Every structure is written in C-alpha cells, then in structure tokens.
C-alpha cells in the first residue's frame, strides 16, 4: 500500500507526522510493504481554507491512503472521492504510525473530526 504522510521536515521514517494536510510543506510517500520512501514538496501549501487541492498537493502521485493529524472537510471529501482513505495519525513518527496503521489502531477521519481553519480551530 502507498501511504502519504504530511511532514514539516523530512527525516525519512523518523519524520514527525504533521498536524494539517493542506498546509504541510512536504509529504513522505511510503510503500508499506518495502518501507521504501521518498519526499515530495506540497505545491499547494498556500491556499485559503477550504480551497485545498489534495491531488495538486500530492503532485499527482497515486496513493492508497493518507495518515495525518488534521484535515479540512473539503480536502477529506476530495480525497475520499478519489478513493483515498484518510486516517488520523497518533503523535509520533511515520514509523510509529505505520505500525499503528498495520495493527488497525488508526481510525479513519469522518466529517465531524475535520479542521475548521488554518489556525487553532481544529477538532484535533
């Protein structure tokens, strides 16, 4: 499975998972089977709340799911419509969240748990 993790700073699998999908400076894309990873820059990091273009943010990369601390309702809906599941990250590194995802500990986001703005108005 190909997983996108928003990050502030890329340190590979030791990167801390970022708290907001759309405004993350970069993403670390991980193949959950091989643990191979690479970083891409978020080309849509600067936008008005609700105007996030998730596929542009991911630079058109195909992923099966996203693991993030928080996400806006519009971005969640657009990702879900593209067949991409979005899971709520636990505090910690990508490696720790990979283990939590594999063991079924991470829950999928739903519309009632999304961010209300690019500030402190988030449900997470």
pLDDT for 9 equals 92
Q: Which of 14-18, 41-45, 70-74 has the highest mean pLDDT?
A: 14-18
Cα–Cα separations (whole angstroms), residue 110 to 76, 100, 107:
8, 18, 9
Q: What is the CATH number for 87?
A: 3.30.420.130
pLDDT at 29 over 70: yes
Q: Is residue 119 part of a domain?
A: no
Share of the chain above pLDDT 90, in %: 62
pLDDT in tens, 49-68: 555 678 778 888 999 999 99
pLDDT for 93 equals 97
Provide the terminal-to-terminal Cα distance of the chain, rounded to the nearest Å: 25
- How many other CB atoms sit within 10 Å of the CB of residue 78? 16
pLDDT at 46 over 90: no
Domain of residue 47, residue span: 2-113
Least confident of 28-37, 62-71, 111-120: 111-120
Q: In what order do the strands lie in the sheet with 37-41?
A: 37-41, 26-31, 2-7, 65-68, 85-88
pLDDT in tens, 75-116: 899 999 999 999 999 989 999 999 999 999 999 998 666 655
pLDDT for 47 equals 53
Q: In the predicted model, what is the mean pLDDT of the chain?
A: 86
Q: Is residue 45 part of a domain?
A: yes
The number of domains in the chain is 1
Q: Is residue 26 part of a domain?
A: yes
């Amino acid at each position: 499975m190909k997983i996108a993790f928003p990050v502030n700073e890329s340190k590979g699998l030791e990167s801390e998972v970022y708290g907001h999908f759309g405004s993350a400076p970069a993403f670390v894309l991980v193949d959950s089977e091989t643990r191979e990873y690479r970083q891409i820059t978020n080309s849509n990091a600067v936008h008005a709340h609700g105007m996030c273009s998730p596929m542009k943010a991911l630079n058109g990369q195909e992923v099966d799911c996203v693991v993030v601390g928080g996400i806006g309702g519009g971005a969640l809906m657009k990702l879900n419509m593209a067949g991409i599941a979005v899971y709520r990250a636990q505090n910690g590194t990508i490696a720790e969240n990979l283990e939590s995802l594999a063991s079924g500990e991470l829950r999928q986001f739903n519309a009632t748990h999304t961010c209300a703005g690019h500030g402190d108005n988030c449900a997470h």
